[in-house]
Amino acid sequence: MAFTSTAVATNSSTATLVVQATNGQGGAPANLLIYNKDASITVYLGAADVDNAGVRGIPIPAGGTYSGNLYSNEKMYLMSASGTPSVIVQLNRV
């Protein structure tokens, strides 16, 4: 099992690649947790075409979290609604 935790700065003009999954043991998914550290800015999670208005992304509100699974070679991107908030990305490869 490999566990990583990384701080990532986002912005409102370009999608930021925050994580790319690799196969775990026997092709098991990797567990993903994203924590939005900002006190007032929402960030949006999605594919490379995620936007800063939430049209193409899942909102993670200020102080909020997202948890889910990533499968082999899936990529997740973030973009902020404004400013440059930081998030914590934790990935557990089983």
Tell me the pLDDT tens digit for each residue of 17-65. 998 876 555 567 888 999 999 999 999 999 999 999 989 999 999 999 9
CA–CA separation, 41 and 60 (whole Å): 9
41: its two tokens = 């800015």
CA dihedral for 32, 35, 36, 37, sign (positive or negative): negative
Q: Is the pTM of this model over 0.75?
A: yes
CA–CA separation, 8 and 77 (whole Å): 11
Per-residue pLDDT tens digits for 60-86: 999 999 999 888 788 999 999 999 999
Count of positions (residues) in the chain: 94
Q: Which domains does the chain have, with CATH numbers?
A: 2-93 (2.60.120.10)
